[in-house]
Amino acid sequence: MSFHVYDTTLRDGAQQEGMNLSVTDKLAIAPLLDELGVGFIEGGWPGAVPKDTDFFARAATELTLKNSVLAAFGATRKVGLRASEDPQVLALLHSGAPVVTLVAKSDVRHAERALRTTAEENLAMITDTVAFLVGEGRRVVLDAEHFFDGYRFDAAYSRSAVLAAFEAGAEVVALCDTNGGMLPHWVTDIVGDVRAVVGPDAILGMHAHNDSGCAVANTLAAVDAGCSHVQGTINGYGERTGNADLITVVANLELKNGRTLLTGAGLTEASRIAHAISEITNISPYARQPYVGASAFAHKAGLHASAIKVDPDLYQHIDPRLVGNDMRMLISDMAGRATIELKGRELGFDLSGQGEVLTRITARVKEAEANGYTYDAADASFELLLIEEMMGERPQYFDVESWRTIVERHGHRGTVALAEATVKLEAGGERVVTTGEGNGPVNALDQALRLALTRIYPEIESFGLIDFKVRILDQMHGTDAVTRVLIETTDGQTSWSTVGVGPNILEASWEALTDSAIYGLIHAGVNPR
Amino acid sequence: MSFHVYDTTLRDGAQQEGMNLSVTDKLAIAPLLDELGVGFIEGGWPGAVPKDTDFFARAATELTLKNSVLAAFGATRKVGLRASEDPQVLALLHSGAPVVTLVAKSDVRHAERALRTTAEENLAMITDTVAFLVGEGRRVVLDAEHFFDGYRFDAAYSRSAVLAAFEAGAEVVALCDTNGGMLPHWVTDIVGDVRAVVGPDAILGMHAHNDSGCAVANTLAAVDAGCSHVQGTINGYGERTGNADLITVVANLELKNGRTLLTGAGLTEASRIAHAISEITNISPYARQPYVGASAFAHKAGLHASAIKVDPDLYQHIDPRLVGNDMRMLISDMAGRATIELKGRELGFDLSGQGEVLTRITARVKEAEANGYTYDAADASFELLLIEEMMGERPQYFDVESWRTIVERHGHRGTVALAEATVKLEAGGERVVTTGEGNGPVNALDQALRLALTRIYPEIESFGLIDFKVRILDQMHGTDAVTRVLIETTDGQTSWSTVGVGPNILEASWEALTDSAIYGLIHAGVNPR
């Protein structure tokens, strides 16, 4: 029996708070899912959601899928209508999707209170709709909504809903933990019961939500108990706490249970694909996400760094390359020489023979961290420090004479304050004086600096600030509080982070801004003029 | 046998990428953990990390814990030293913590390759260190590092490490999935094996990481198999993918398995406490976090909206009030009144009879939160809002005409930047113009404002800024980023927190500074002059 990996990012994932996918977004995500190699891509609810109707219409001509088939999601027929006369059911048929996934009530309370019909009519709705679509040549998946809660309330009724679907010709019945409250041992027991009732050949599926923090484990428990169809979403997107994170589920099943589930590029492209999808959904990636998160293989503890260098497999549950991710060493005050050597290697600097340089860098990092700097989120600043210690100094692109910011507000609460900044510097033999405006002093400083440098280094035009974080650090060495600023800059293709520290937020920001410009120019291959 | 809830936010949680907790941060988080009612608070590694040594020293005089005891974390003695002569072990003793948690190798490969010692010496290190600390009157928890990986490689050795600890007098042995790669059925099998070996009375614990996305489920599996001590962190903070999310673990065990584990305020305060801690760590809360996340009980309107109104329990796995959270309908407004009524009561305002005021306040809070305000950590601003809605307006102590800040630096990196601020306002019938200087623009503004007000309201002389936090909030309503500032002010006896929000950091700071002055004057019993 083949195993189904069923992605519902475009339908259930899109229910996430703050997510709003356009047809174009969906048409951009589907090829990535196909590339990953999922078996099924649930595209939306044609007939009920106008843009989903458009998606299926455009997909028919614009999408060429190699590994996946499209599924159209919809509901069983309305109470009292014939399936063949229900416009919502006909829209599913007309979507052209080879697979139709029908959501049906399998909790008797939902049939009675939400649909306001009888338990019997609900079963007839399942039978009729499945039989009609199968008769029209569609493969049908039945999503048994609220199955687990229903089963714990009235098991016989929930089972009869599953049996009705299989008897009418459904290929799969997916058992849904719609409210997400299940715990793994409940799933084990209930799926085991259902498996005994439906026999060994029926394909059962699992659809889990993460409200108990167990979506992945519940899916694994269901597979162990006999499910061979798993539903989930990329990055665990979904309503409330989200759906089961499909990549985590698949990685556990492939890398730890020895199955082969994906038919495309597979897990080695998982990190890239997960991040590419988060670019399209415009939802910041979650650094702590299992397998594909930016922090998933990042190590901070100095304690372990020397051992990690010798034997990385003792400190990671899998080789990160298996999911297209990388081990990263974070530079922190707990770091020793071994961490810094590894970090250097990651950035392309071989420090292995250079004991003296390594000692100097380690000492500088420790001193800087004692003063409030942090390099674990500021790779670019750390690289500038490495370059300084290895080359003797950093490239001198410009020489700052002075800068000034003025922020003022006239009038009462609600009146807008104005910010401007003036920068005076020398670059390429020219003295430049520029003024920038912004909605705040850092923004104004950034404008003025970029204006001043663009004249000499036009490459800087493509750089833009994308993130700015501020942290007040108290009592460093019992003196006054200092401010730490982290900024992230992009050139449109890649991004880098720099850090600045000072008693004054604008001084700290200025340091991070100028370091960012220098790093960007070095990496653009520009020589000081 | 009592059940242990063991929090390691301050130690293992602080290993998270980008987290850097000061001693003050730790001293602010510990009372929140105590209020939640965890049994144990692991504070750090005295002796190895200087600021952790400071934490325990200051905790001895500055912290009064009602429900929790402090645990100092450290390692077993060094190879070849006596425990009583190992400075690292002595530092644990001298920290004054009643509980010492020792990390020890329980994977023979780690003993040999990371410690570079023999299997036997590693066991002797466990025995000696536990026996020494128990002999000195400490309760000892042994964290058996890499236990599960070790067990799958050489079960006999891993078991012998556990037995050595118990025989030497350890109260608990916590089995650690240090690399986080376990799946629940492996945990079930291994903990079951260990339970059979150690007998029914030994206290076994579980320490899980989330690398397989199963930290919560692995912890639950361990409890089912006989662990009665669970370790975790608030918000699942921790290295790589983080530790088990302690609130999710406890909520599953209390609300779904009917246990009572917390001894303090308990789960009904969990959402507030989790968010308050994220304000201190300055790590953005994760909206999809189970139980306490902002989206955890948020329903996108559509299919279910009307049914949810009639019968919310059909659509949520638990009543969100049990964890201090609220159901939110993403298009309508039906939550929050109860929370606000409770918060009002906490501040001494009885709003129970006042439906209309409550409705107005709820609407204002919702609007303000949508614009980036947060009142979780700004009780004083919330109280000013309450006063405005109850009295019609807030007391008018002064009337601001304008303010301006100038920050400038002449010369190179290393030269100090100067900040000054000028404030013009009217108070007590006088127009006042003052200039303040500071090491940054907010500091200068604070100086100028206090100078201006002290002339009319000498009470303000005793007020001082003690904390200042800044967070950049992106994409509120798809517009530009806004800045949120939280400040804490003291009059020497008590302290209060206010919030300001704006596109400009100084504008946001000004709002928080003026609110702070007004709140301080009201509570000093001063009338507007």
Task: Evaluate if residue B242 carries a pLDDT over 90.
Answer: yes
- For B85-105, write each residue's pLDDT tens digit: 999 999 999 999 999 999 999
Is A292 inside a domain boundary? no
Residue A127: in which H helix or E strand, if any?
A: helix A119-135
- Least confident among A318-332, A475-489, B318-332, B354-368: A475-489
Task: Evaluate if residue B373 carries a pLDDT over 50.
Answer: yes
Instruction: Say yes or no: B132 and B19 in one domain.
Output: yes
Instruction: Say yes or no: A271 and A303 in one domain.
Output: no
Q: Most distant CA pair in chain B: distance in Å? A: 84
Give me A198's structure tokens.
Answer: 């439906």
Rounded average pLDDT over A220-248: 97
Min Cα distance A64 → chain B (Å) is 32
Instruction: Say yes or no: A245 and A152 in one domain.
Output: yes
Say what the ipTM of the complex is.
0.77
Write out the DSSP string of A71-123.
EEEEEPPPTTS-GGG-HHHHHHHHT--SEEEEEEE-SHHHHHHTS-S-HHHHH
Which contacts of B153-160 are long-range, i.e. CB under 8 A and separated by 24 or more positions?
Answer: B153/B107, B153/B108, B153/B109, B154/B107, B154/B108, B155/B193, B157/B106, B157/B107, B157/B108, B157/B119, B158/B106, B158/B107, B158/B108, B159/B193, B159/B194, B159/B197, B160/B123
- Least confident among A43-52, A470-479, B35-44, B215-224: A470-479
What pLDDT, on the 0 to 100 scale, is given for residue A213? 98
- Phi-psi map region of A258: left, alpha, beta (phi>0 left; psi -120 to 50 alpha): left
Task: Evaluate if residue A476 carries a pLDDT over 60.
Answer: no
Is A228 inside a domain boundary? yes
AA identity, residue A466: I
Instruction: Say yes or no: B161 and B49 in one domain.
Output: yes
Taking a C-beta distance cutoff of 8 angstroms, is the pair B391, B361 a contact?
no
Task: Using CB atoms, pick whichever of A289, A300, A439 lies closest to residue B504.
Answer: A439
Average pLDDT, chain B: 90
Chain A residue numbers touching B240 (CB-CB < 8 A)? 288, 295-299
Chain B residue numbers touching A377 (CB-CB < 8 A)? 17-18
> Is residue B81 helix, strand or coil?
coil
- For B107-118, write each residue's pLDDT tens digit: 999 999 888 999
Rounded average pLDDT over A30-39: 96
Contact state of B440 with A181 under an 8 Å Cβ cutoff: no
Give me B2's structure tokens.
Answer: 């009592």
List the CATH number of the domain containing B268: 3.20.20.70
Instruction: Say yes or no: B320 and B461 in one domain.
Output: no
Output DSSP code: residue A401: E
Instruction: Say yes or no: A59 and A202 in one domain.
Output: yes
Q: Token match 């002389």: residue?
A: B461
* Residue B337: band (very low, low, confident or very high) from pLDDT cuts 50, 70, 90: low
Best probe of the B interface among A211, A249, A412, by most B CBs < 10 A, is A211
Instruction: Say yes or no: B361 and B439 in one domain.
Output: no
Q: Token match 């999935």: residue?
A: B177
User: What total number of domains does chain B contain?
Assistant: 3
Task: Using CB atoms, pick whichever of B16, B113, B510 lies closest to residue A314.
Answer: B113
Q: What backbone torsions phi and psi does residue B429 show, to the nearest 5 degrees?
A: 80, 0
List the CATH number of the domain containing B413: 3.30.160.270
Give me B349's structure tokens.
Answer: 């305002």
Chain B residue numbers touching A150 (CB-CB < 8 A)? none
Min Cα distance B353 → chain A (Å) is 32
- Least confident among A40-54, A294-308, B313-327, B345-359: A294-308
Is A289 inside a domain boundary? no
* Angle of helix B215-224 versus helix A215-224 axis, rounded to 10: 60
Q: What backbone torsions phi and psi does residue B508 show, to the nearest 5 degrees?
A: -65, -40
For B112-228, strand residue ranges (E) read 139-145, 172-177, 203-208
Q: Which residue in A has a C-alpha nearest to residue B186's C-alpha?
A: A256
Task: Evaluate if residue B333 carries a pLDDT over 80.
Answer: no
Instruction: Say yes or no: B415 and B485 in one domain.
Output: yes
Task: State the residue range of the domain holding A481.
Answer: 399-523
* Residue B290: band (very low, low, confident or very high) from pLDDT cuts 50, 70, 90: very high
Instruction: Say yes or no: A359 and A494 in one domain.
Output: no
Min Cα distance A210 → chain B (Å) is 7
* Residue B523: band (very low, low, confident or very high) from pLDDT cuts 50, 70, 90: very high
Contact state of B505 with A405 under an 8 Å Cβ cutoff: no
Task: Evaluate if residue A339 carries a pLDDT over 90.
Answer: no
Task: Using CB atoms, pick whichever of B17, B110, B245 lies closest to residue A298.
Answer: B17
Chain A residue numbers touching B439 (CB-CB < 8 A)? 480, 503-504
Write out the DSSP string of B187-203.
HHHHHHHHHHHH-TTSE
Chain A residue numbers touching B249 (CB-CB < 8 A)? 213
Chain B residue numbers touching A110 (CB-CB < 8 A)? 307, 314
What pLDDT, on the 0 to 100 scale, is given for residue A333? 53
Select from B238, B255, B281 the last residue of a domain: B281
Cα B263 to chain centroid, rounded = 18
Output DSSP code: residue A245: B
Q: Which residue in B has a C-alpha nearest to residue A369's C-alpha?
A: B20
What pLDDT, on the 0 to 100 scale, is given for residue B306? 57
Task: Evaluate if residue A477 carries a pLDDT over 60.
Answer: no
Scored b (16 or more CB within 10 A) or e, B132-155 reads bbbeeebbbbbbbbbbbbbbeeee
Closest alpha carbon to A144 in A92, A185, A203:
A203
Contact state of B241 with A288 under an 8 Å Cβ cutoff: yes
Taking a C-beta distance cutoff of 8 angstroms, is the pair A206, A236 a contact?
no
> Is residue B46 helix, strand or coil?
coil
Closest alpha carbon to B336 in B357, B313, B377, B366:
B366
Chain B residue numbers touching A224 (CB-CB < 8 A)? 185
**CA distance from start to end of chain A:** 67
Q: Which residue in B has a C-alpha nearest to residue A250's C-alpha?
A: B212
Closest alpha carbon to A446 in A469, A425, A465, A426:
A465
> Is residue B462 helix, strand or coil?
helix
Contact state of A290 with B480 under an 8 Å Cβ cutoff: no
Task: Using CB atoms, pick whichever of B20, B402, B441 lies closest to residue A374.
Answer: B20
Is A10 inside a domain boundary? yes
Contact state of B506 with A417 under an 8 Å Cβ cutoff: yes
Closest alpha carbon to B434 in B450, B418, B410, B458:
B450
> Is residue A455 helix, strand or coil?
coil
What pLDDT, on the 0 to 100 scale, is given for residue A303? 58
Task: Evaluate if residue A313 carries a pLDDT over 90.
Answer: no
* Residue A377: band (very low, low, confident or very high) from pLDDT cuts 50, 70, 90: confident
Instruction: Say yes or no: B195 and B102 in one domain.
Output: yes
Is B385 inside a domain boundary? no
Edge-to-edge strands of the sheet including A482-490? A464-473, A482-490, A495-502
Task: Evaluate if residue A512 carries a pLDDT over 80.
Answer: yes
CA distance linking residue A455 with residue A430, whole number of Å:
10
Task: Using CB atoms, pick whichever of B114, B413, B480 lies closest to residue A439.
Answer: B480
Residue B497: in which H helix or E strand, if any?
A: strand B495-502
What pLDDT, on the 0 to 100 scale, is given for residue B334? 36
Is B286 inside a domain boundary? no
Instruction: Say yes or no: B86 and B206 in one domain.
Output: yes
Write out the DSSP string of B368-399.
HHHTT---TT-HHHHHHHHHHHHHSS-----E
Chain B residue numbers touching A18 (CB-CB < 8 A)? 287
Task: Evaluate if residue B460 carries a pLDDT over 80.
Answer: yes
A218 by Cβ neighbours in 10 Å (0-12 / 13-18 / 19+) ranks as buried
Is B290 inside a domain boundary? no
Min Cα distance A404 → chain B (Å) is 4
For B328-445, strand residue ranges (E) read 328-329, 399-410, 418-427, 430-438
Q: Token match 């003024």: residue?
A: A435
CA distance linking residue B118 with residue B136, whole number of Å:
27
Instruction: Say yes or no: A410 and A337 in one domain.
Output: no
Task: Using CB atoms, pick whichever of A216, A334, A442 lies closest to residue B214.
Answer: A216
Is A488 inside a domain boundary? yes
Min Cα distance A417 → chain B (Å) is 7
